[in-house]
């Protein structure tokens, strides 16, 4: 019994010593003893802050190595977010300020929740259009027209530019890549150049719309740029696409590649889903503009529209299939009969399940990690360095270059969290650079990473890097056009 007491006593002593060690390690020496709950603690020059930085950097190294490691990018940032906020919670608990850290965490969580639900509705609509074979029909139409390779190059680029403001740039890029791979066949040079062109176009098109990219959505939801003000970026975004596209098109032969035609029949309700999506976007804009409420309210209302339409499709499914089957038999349309044999009723929840959950969870990790580092005081240091000691224009241009190396989501979220004192022209500039800067490298945007997987071995990091100087010309040209065209906004 004495031995047991001795063992427990030693264990308790070691545990107490460990707690004291952790408290000493993570408690900054610069804390004032008179700190009150209304003040945040500066952790930038402490062991706790350094550990949080190392954790975030290691997590992001794993994110950047996603293609090599085949490790989904959400996993490391989810763990990093837990560790960073665990450190914050421990320190603030030691100082009797846990209510302050809890409020800060809930603030970041609320920002994420609004964006999560907004993106979830948008992804559900895109998945519904895909399930109704809208994108397949569009691809089949383009392939079956017998366009020359140069025409396909320009057509897919312009379609990527004009579709991505409504659908996200990732979905748009994947759709257009499927077209060029179908048309290009074994012409690897054409496919490689067309993929680069699509990435540039999709990123540029997404820069002048709140719905085109997560970064523009964040800027709109934050309220620093209003919905109608994004249109000021249309011409700079178009220039960003046209400059490199015009140069690259000179290296594509104007020949016709013969491909096998594909017959695709859209499922019932495909066009009406598109109309409902446009109605949902209008509802979100009106909710924010006229009611002063977050756009997510309008988007979730739009999800209700889609659910009611799905209910109608299910209720009228049997009658519609019977009618269509009779018509197909009268016309002896074998293809239509085959398609009808595989039709299942529309299920909106299956479309929600097919959302890009890895991206959504990655976004959670990024928001919480950056929010935690900001709460520690690091974003104030960065803001001081960039937006006080540098010229604001140069700082915003640097943000775009940085987004080519690091994903533009944490970069833009960091800028929004820093909330530097800038005019509308500068906020539009950083929105533009963060949106199109990712085109400089293949790993700089979700569209580029996705196409490296879809056109594996053809569209590669090295293939894209070879054209980076040309893409940089478009990047510089778009900035100069914005500074000139929208000079009155600065």
Encode pLDDT of 390-410 as tens digits. Answer: 888 999 999 888 888 776 777
Encode pLDDT of 80-94 as tens digits. Answer: 999 999 999 999 999
Q: What is the C-alpha to C-alpha distance for residues 270 and 25, in angstroms, rounded to an integer?
A: 60
**Residue 450 counted as domain residue:** no
**Residue 317 counted as domain residue:** yes
Range scoring the smallest mean pLDDT among 32-36, 37-41, 140-144, 462-466: 32-36
**Residue 333 counted as domain residue:** yes
**Residue 366 counted as domain residue:** no
Q: Are 59 and 347 in contact (CB under 8 A)?
A: no
* DSSP-assigned beta bridge partners for residue 256: 148
Phi, psi of 148 (to 5 degrees): -70, 165
Encode pLDDT of 115-172 as tens digits. Answer: 788 878 888 888 888 888 887 887 777 777 778 889 889 999 999 999 888 876 777 8
Q: What is the C-alpha to C-alpha distance for residues 279 and 125, in angstroms, rounded to an integer?
A: 12
Q: Which region holds residue 261: left if phi is over 0, alpha if psi is between -120 and 50, else beta?
A: beta
Full domain range(s) for residue 322: 269-345
DSSP string, 24-89: HHHS-TT--TT--TTS----TTSHHHHHHHHHHHHHHHHHHTHHHH---THHHHHHHHHHHHHHHH
In which residue are the tokens 């959670």 written?
A: 364
3-state helix, strand, coil in the chain (%, to 5): 75, 0, 25
Is the pTM higher than 0.75? Answer: no
pLDDT at 245 over 50: yes
pLDDT score at 345: 57
Count CA atoms closer than 13 A to 259's CA, side-chain side: 27
Chain centroid to CA 433: how far? 15
Provide the H-helix boundaries in 406-443.
408-418, 424-436
Q: Are 439 and 243 in contact (CB under 8 A)?
A: no
pLDDT score at 19: 36
What does the block give as tokens for 182? 């179908």
Range scoring the smallest mean pLDDT among 16-20, 188-192, 306-310, 374-378: 16-20
Closest to 277 measured CA to CA, from 289, 265, 285, 266: 285
Question: Within a 10 A sphere around the Cβ of 239, how many other Cβ atoms?
Answer: 21
pLDDT at 16 over 60: no
Encode pLDDT of 217-229 as tens digits. Answer: 888 888 889 988 9
**Residue 274 counted as domain residue:** yes
Exposed (0-12), middle (13-18) or buried (19+): which is 330, by Cβ within 10 Å?
exposed
Q: What is the C-alpha to C-alpha distance for residues 432 and 449, in angstroms, rounded to an integer?
A: 20
Q: Are 417 and 218 in contact (CB under 8 A)?
A: no
% the chain with pLDDT above 70: 85
| Residue scoring higher pLDDT (34 or 359) | 359
pLDDT at 2 over 60: no
Encode pLDDT of 48-69 as tens digits. Answer: 999 999 999 998 888 777 667 7
Q: How many domains does the chain have?
A: 1
**Residue 327 counted as domain residue:** yes
Mean per-residue pLDDT for 227-252? 94
% the chain with pLDDT above 90: 28
pLDDT at 45 over 90: no
- Helices (runs of H) and strands (runs of E) counted in the chain: 24, 0
What does the block give as tokens for 117? 């639900």
**Residue 285 counted as domain residue:** yes
**Residue 164 counted as domain residue:** no
Closest to 87 measured CA to CA, from 49, 54, 59: 49
Q: What is the C-alpha to C-alpha distance for residues 184 and 174, in angstroms, rounded to an integer?
A: 15
């Amino acid at each position: 019994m004495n031995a047991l007491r001795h063992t427990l006593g030693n264990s308790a002593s070691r545990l107490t010593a460990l707690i004291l060690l952790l408290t000493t390690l993570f408690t900054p020496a610069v804390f004032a003893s008179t700190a009150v709950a209304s003040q945040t603690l500066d952790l930038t020059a402490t062991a706790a802050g350094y550990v949080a930085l190392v954790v975030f950097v290691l997590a992001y190294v794993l994110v950047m190595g996603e293609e090599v490691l085949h490790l989904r990018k959400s996993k490391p940032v989810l763990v990093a977010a837990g560790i960073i906020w665990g450190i914050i919670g421990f320190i603030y608990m030691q100082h009797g300020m846990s209510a302050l850290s809890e409020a800060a965490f809930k603030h970041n969580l609320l920002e994420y929740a609004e964006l999560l639900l907004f993106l979830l509705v948008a992804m559900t609509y895109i998945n519904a259009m895909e399930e109704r074979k809208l994108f397949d029909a569009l691809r089949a139409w383009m392939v079956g027209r017998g366009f020359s390779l140069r025409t396909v190059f320009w057509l897919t680029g312009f379609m990527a530019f004009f579709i991505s403001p409504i659908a996200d740039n990732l979905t748009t890029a994947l759709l257009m890549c499927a077209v060029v791979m179908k048309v290009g066949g074994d012409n690897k040079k054409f496919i490689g150049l067309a993929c680069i062109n699509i990435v540039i176009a999709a990123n540029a098109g997404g820069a002048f719309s709140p719905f085109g990219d997560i970064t523009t959505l964040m800027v709109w939801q934050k309220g620093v740029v209003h919905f109608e003000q994004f249109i000021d970026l249309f011409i700079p975004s178009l220039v960003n696409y046209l400059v490199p596209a015009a140069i690259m098109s000179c290296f594509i032969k104007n020949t016709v590649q013969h491909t096998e035609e594909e017959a695709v029949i859209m499922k019932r309700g495909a066009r009406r889903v598109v109309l409902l999506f446009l109605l949902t976007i209008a509802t979100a804009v009106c909710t924010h503009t006229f009611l002063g409420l977050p756009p997510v309210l309008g988007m979730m209302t739009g999800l209700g529209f889609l659910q009611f339409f799905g209910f109608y499709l299910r209720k009228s499914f049997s009658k519609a299939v019977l009618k269509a089957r009779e018509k197909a038999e009268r016309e002896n349309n074998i293809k239509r009969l085959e398609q009808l044999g595989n039709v299942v009723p529309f299920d909106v929840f299956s479309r929600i399940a097919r959302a890009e959950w890895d991206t959504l969870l990655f976004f959670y990790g990024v928001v919480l990690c950056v929010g935690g580092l900001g709460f520690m005081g690091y974003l104030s240091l960065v803001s001081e360095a960039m937006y006080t000691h540098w010229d604001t224009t140069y700082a915003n241009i640097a943000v775009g270059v940085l987004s080519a190396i690091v994903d533009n989501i944490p970069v833009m979220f960091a800028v929004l969290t820093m909330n530097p004192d800038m005019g509308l022209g500068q906020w539009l500039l950083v929105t533009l650079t963060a949106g199109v800067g990712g085109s400089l490298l293949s790993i700089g945007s979700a569209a580029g990473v996705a196409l490296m997987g879809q056109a594996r071995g053809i569209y590669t990091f090295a293939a894209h890097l070879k054209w980076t100087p040309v893409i940089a010309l478009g990047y510089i040209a778009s900035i100069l056009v914005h500074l000139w065209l929208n000079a009155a906004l600065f």
